[in-house]
Amino acid sequence: EEDEAELEELLGPSPLALGPGAQRVAVVQPAVKWGPKKSPLTTAELQIAEAVALVDTLQNWTVLDKIIIPTKNPNKKFVFGKGNFQVLTEKIRKLPHLTAVFLNVERLSSLTKKELEGAWGVKVFDRYTVVLHIFRCNARTKEAKLQIALAEIPLLRSNLKNEVSQRDQQRGGSRYIMGSGKTFMETQNRVLKERELKIRNALEKLRRKRSLLRTQRRKREFPMISVMGYTNCGKTTLIKALTGEAGLQPRDQLFATLDITAHAGYLPSHMAVIYVDTIGFLTDLPHNLVESFSATLEEVAYSDLIVHVRDITHPETILQKATVLSVLKNLNLPSHLLDSIVEVHNKVDLIERYKPSEENALAISALHGHGLEELKQEIEKKILTATGKKILTVNVNLEGPQLSWLYKEATVQEVEVMPEDGTARVKVIIGNSAFGRYKNLFPNSKIFMS
């Protein structure tokens, strides 16, 4: 009861929530023309297109204007040089009914944000704030909501510094509350620290619960396949196609999936597997945000196989691949998992006569079913290697308990009955521990390796 009440308090309205109201936004993209800050895999046009897609994800948010402005160093205080900042300010001030500017940089310091809002007279959002708001709108489970609350802590700390400097100016430097000797900053910092600890504890409890579920799944020896990729690449559509699960509703939207969800499917040999749908990745996704979702991504480390889905029609598909692989490397996954990744090129129905240039990549259309049989066969091959499962044929006596035991403990593929001697040849897929138990229980059974 007490735990539930505390959880409700942590999941209450966010102090950072941008509110349900409509936002009319100007999207501003700093364009780095040369130097170490320039990314070789993208252009300012493609970056602003993704920023616009992020805004379009939010209900009641509309893009009034898209502005690309050159800069040598997007990390300086005003992001742009003096002349370009002047040009940008004039453009922003001319936009009618503007309520906010989305400056497409990873994070703005609270000081820069305050200065920009002062210069432009409207709210200023960075990538962190916008992505966090999308996450907040899409979170369904307690775990996703807690992870978002955790990701908000650095922003709340940053806002606190801002608030303290304003109070100092207003009060002529007096920083004490009610003469208690405790500064406002210290008090608020302690409140934030306590909130962070409570969130981390609640997440730890959920993590332990999931660990228990994972152990139960392991006992049943269901292989697990994590389906990963850049946001909106078609992961959920692919899982729906592989499992035939009618209830799965893919949405053409960035970050439609925020929670790990598991879906049962069958491989060509009738082996039951679990496909795990994961949160999509984004370039320049702030580290704190990835960090807060580490509990969700932890599940990936326990998979038997990773399927990396790429939207091959996207102009930034190479950058997107690099982003996903970079996040995977930072998750400290076992090397055998990284070495056995199945790369899938999705949406090939939109490209005439598409052939993957990468070796071993598979071309598919999750929407139209093209290439799915080859993909299932590849997954099966890799799963057999990863899990050490064997395909065997065993001779069983039809009057004995072997056949029903095999149906319960292994994957029975074929049964060929020999009526003349009351036996059957049974083709099965069986895990190592089940195979060991079978040999102990039925030491006289004839076994043929496939």
Who wins on pLDDT, 239 or 41?
239
Instruction: Give the residue numbers of the binding site for Mg(2+).
Output: 236, 257
- Collect all residues with Cβ–Cβ distance below 8 Å to 351 and sequence separation of at least 6: 312, 313
Distance CA 207, CA 189 (A): 27
Alpha-carbon Rg of the chain, whole angstroms? 27
- Collect all residues with Cβ–Cβ distance below 8 Å to 179 and sequence separation of at least 6: none
Highest mean pLDDT range out of 40-54, 164-178, 280-294?
40-54
φ/ψ (deg, to 5) at 107? -140, 140
pTM: 0.72
Q: Cα 399 to chain center, whole Å?
A: 51
Q: Tell me: the pLDDT tens digits for 88-101?
A: 999 999 999 999 99
CATH superfamily membership of 221-386 = P-loop containing nucleotide triphosphate hydrolases (3.40.50.300)
Both structure tokens of 134: 């999308």
Pairing mode of beta strands 342-346, 390-397: unpaired
| In contact, 29 and 67? CB cutoff 8 Å | yes
pLDDT band of residue 181 (cuts 50, 70, 90) is very low
- Average pLDDT, whole number, for the chain? 83
- Collect all residues with Cβ–Cβ distance below 8 Å to 273 and sequence separation of at least 6: 222, 223, 224, 225, 264, 265, 266, 267, 379, 383
Q: What is the mean pLDDT of residues 199-209?
A: 83
Question: Which residues lie across from 124 on neighbouring strands?
Answer: 101
- Residue whose C-alpha is closest to residue 111's, from 82, 76, 80: 76
Q: Cα 122 to chain center, whole Å?
A: 31
Architecture of the CATH domain 388-449: 2-Layer Sandwich (3.30)
Q: What is the mean pLDDT of residues 37-66?
A: 86
Q: Tell me: the pLDDT tens digits for 279-313?
A: 777 776 666 676 666 666 777 888 999 999 999 99
Q: Percent of the chain beyond pLDDT 70?
A: 81
pLDDT at 377: 96
pLDDT band of residue 180 (cuts 50, 70, 90) is very low
pLDDT band of residue 343 (cuts 50, 70, 90) is very high
CB burial of 134-154 (b: ≥16 within 10 Å; e: otherwise) equals bbbbbbeebbbbbbbbbbbbb
Instruction: Give the residue numbers of the binding site for GTP.
Output: 229-236, 255-259, 277-280, 346-349, 365-367
Highest mean pLDDT range out of 257-261, 315-319, 330-334?
315-319
Residue 266 parent element (H or E)? strand 261-266
Largest CA distance in the chain: 102
pLDDT band of residue 431 (cuts 50, 70, 90) is confident
Report the C-alpha dihedral over residues 346, 350, 354, 359, rounded to 10 degrees.
-20
Type of residue found at 29: Q
pLDDT band of residue 238 (cuts 50, 70, 90) is very high
pLDDT band of residue 402 (cuts 50, 70, 90) is very high
pLDDT at 164: 67
Residue 136 parent element (H or E)? helix 127-138
Both structure tokens of 406: 């095999």
Distance CA 149, CA 132 (A): 9
Who wins on pLDDT, 262 or 292?
262
Instruction: Give the residue numbers of the binding site.
Output: 229-236, 255-259, 277-280, 346-349, 365-367
How is domain 2-135 classified at the CATH fold level? Rossmann fold (3.40.50)
Helices (DSSP H) in 171-286: which residue ranges?
Answer: 184-219, 235-243
Q: What is the mean pLDDT of residues 255-284?
A: 77
Distance CA 178, CA 448 (A): 84
Who wins on pLDDT, 76 or 378?
378
Q: Cα 435 to chain center, whole Å?
A: 36
| In contact, 418 and 397? CB cutoff 8 Å | no
Helix, strand, or coil (residue 249): coil
pLDDT band of residue 218 (cuts 50, 70, 90) is low
- Collect all residues with Cβ–Cβ distance below 8 Å to 254 and sequence separation of at least 6: 53, 54, 57, 134, 231, 232, 280, 282
Q: How many helices (H) and strands (E) does the chain have?
A: 15, 14
Express the helix, strand and coil content of the chain in percent, nearest 5 each: 45, 20, 35
CB burial of 78-112 (b: ≥16 within 10 Å; e: otherwise) equals ebbeeebbeebbeebeebeebbbbbbbbbbbebeb
Q: Percent of the chain beyond pLDDT 90?
A: 37
Distance CA 69, CA 93 (A): 15
Distance CA 136, CA 138 (A): 6
Q: Is 50 exceeded by the pLDDT of residue 177?
A: no
pLDDT at 328: 87
